[in-house]
Structure 1
Amino acid sequence: MMPESEHAKTDRPESEPLLRSILDAVQDAMVVIDDQGRILWFSAAAQKMFGYAEDEVFGENVSTLMPSPDRERHDGYLRHYRETGERKIIGIGRITTARRRDGSTFPIELTIGEATSNGIRVFTGFIRDLTERQRTEKRLHNLQDELAHVSRVTAMGTLATAIAHELNQPLTAIANYVEASKHLLSEASPEHVSAVLEALEECAGEAVRAGQIVRRLRDFIKRGDTDRQAVPLSRLVNEASALAFMSTGSRALEFDVSVGAGEHVLADKIQIQQVLLNLIRNAIEAMEETPLKQLKISSRKAPGGMIEVQVADSGPGLPAAVARDLFQPFQSTKAAGMGVGLSISRTIIEAHEGRIWVSSSPLGGAAFHFTLPDATAGELLD
């Protein structure tokens, strides 16, 4: 049992039966803290959600319920608010992660309100466990996946037909020119050599035309400008990780985020979250059979005005031969994988003027890195 804070005991508002009945009836977890971050109230739903009895956490710092790096930074957030009055999340719901007594993390929707009780400023957090929606979400995802599969098959069939139609003429011409050249060379003469040179020149022209057709089709697939804005990197990581945990199920793993609080990247928020979501899901799936599951997301300043993001896991790692071609289309380490996720991720990162690669992880598995432009100017999103 955690030691109680005697100072917090004296500050705790008087317990009234009506208030207690309300706290116990609220389905969402409800946690009340003072302006020093000490827990004053811990509802029955919160006890069930986090695995702590109220007496165990009463008077303790609410950061106990948070994974890194929020755990280490929370007191600083409160101190900044007391000194400046600047609100960051009070009154605004957000998706983040929380930490149970057993150390496992899970996605939550958090809303914080502020009030004064008996002259004491208190903050009330309403916490909704998003993993409770997983069964419904997975059903919807399965239906969406089936529809997406049909759409992909249809699109690939249309694309294959377009490529076959467009490339048929130049490839047929190249084949005819080569066959004619072969016939002319079998009966070598000065006139035939001149004709062969002309045929080869036509072959080269048709090959260039075929390349232009492929590039045009590729541009057609990739068309559409990215809507890039200055976005806090921590927000991208927090929301993407919450979505990843929701879609893969709650697993006991050590999850650590080390991202600069003031780091902003120039990015299309949805596209980069898709990259992060893909990398985090891959890491979680790679650690499925490993006894020690560690996932770390970190960032650092990189040359050329870029920020490098790293997603590292403690999984089995990747053989060099696999890592070399991993970002090519239809290359996958999964038995049922299509091998397009990392290829799409590379396309997105390169469209953001960055690059993506894989290396050995300091945790023993694989580490995926990508770079994005460092947003040092422009409108920042709070």
Structure 2
Amino acid sequence: MFRPIHPDYAFPLAELALCELSKAGAGEVPASGRSEVAIVADAVGAAAALLQLDGDGALSVVAASGWAPPSCRVPLAGALAEAWVRESCVDLRPVPEALAADGVAGGLAVRVGTAEHPRALLVALAFGPHAFDADARAFLQGAAAALHARFVIESTRHALEESQARARAIVQTTVDGVITINDHGRIDGFNAGAERIFGYTADEVVGRNVSVLMPEPYHSEHDGYLAAYRETGRRRIVGIGREVVGRRKSGATFPMDLAVSEVTLPDGETLFTGVVRDITDHRVLEREVLRVAEEERRRIGQDLHDGLGQELTAVGLFLRGLARGLDADGSARADEARRLVSLVDDADTQARTLARSLVPVELEQNGLGAALSRLVERATALYGLDVRTETTGSGPAEASALTADAATNLYRIAQEAVSNAAQHGHARRVTVALVRGAHHLRLRVEDDGVGLDGALRRGGVLEPLDTTPAAPDRVVSAPARPADQRGMGLRIMHYRAHLAGGSLEVRPGAGGGTVVTCTVPLRGPGFSSP
């Protein structure tokens, strides 16, 4: 505990504190311009010095007033060593040899710093008889405390500056876009990666609403999402990585992976940090992989039709002739031959059905609706299910409103959904529906099978269904890796939906079973489906 400072020392101590604040970089603090040791020396009526420990374990004079220090270093021994470990002032008795040789007759020393982290010694030196009273000792300790405070502030500031510099370097050099916004959606930070991805400079977007980086309908809905999150705490994106659509400065849209984290600052302000990765190249690669796979499907289907199918037809014709000959001869083996004919016909039918499923000729010739009708017929025959198809809505026909690739992807999604319903969902009834809207086409495959244990959401996790009012007509996509045995099929459906420019939802049906819904935009202004 420090004793009260004598009024004669109050002004010098205040001056010293202002000096330390100024040196610590705490702002434009008025100061006399005198050094700390000059203030101390004038206050106690003696010389003063600041000694710091060097790498070799000796003390070096770093500042002095009223004394021309020797060029040699001062060993940390005797009274100086005692002061290094003590909280209070220590009399320099006996005077260290290095100081005595320079004419020092006595003095005081006090540690600057703590026992765990000593930083320096502040000394008052007398070159003749001089009495340091209790007030002088209290002042010297107060001066040491002010010096220590400045050292701590400087150390903390340097550490903070280094940490900030490292963080800035990491954020600015990462290839991903890093965007920070406040809880009202205003952009606070926009790194070089984000500049490259979106085409804006940081100066162009900082302070603007983050919705400038989003196409419709996300642009108009974003502030509502933030407001709903502030009011309810329900997360739609925070802490959940997902794929979304971004908008560049040019107006072009592109697919991107977005991961958002949230941090609450000590003052209560909430910041959101979004890490963005442009996955356009990934989508191009996926599109190419699916194109190659589609070509391979066609090749295999053609081989089945023209190769195996023709061979089975020939074998069937030969067996029919053989059966007729055996029957004419009255052979007892005629019935066996006719059974062989029936088996070959069944195999021929199955091979041609499989070939047609691999090569959806109806899709190319008559459009998606006709192809789905044929798909339903084949599924009914193949799986023994009650499979139905229906088309509703007054929007344009998909043949004129969809690109060929988008139609193919929708067909494959329906094919996979029906297959899942039969093989994994153990369904008895499946409905394949096309809903034509003015701007979107929706494919819905609904079954009465065993269903799912929750809704599969964008983040790749199982979550309860969102029972709050949802955005009109817009659905969420399936996860990248759902936690069930149908993961690969759903992943491919997910990719196909995005390649078609749309989104995929997989959720439990109202009365059980599963509902797979894919919504894609129709061709028009801004249409970007491959």
Normalising by structure 1, we get a TM-score of 0.47
Structure with higher RCO (Cα < 8 A, 6+ apart):
1
Question: Which of the two has higher C-alpha Rg?
Answer: 2
Normalising by structure 2, we get a TM-score of 0.36
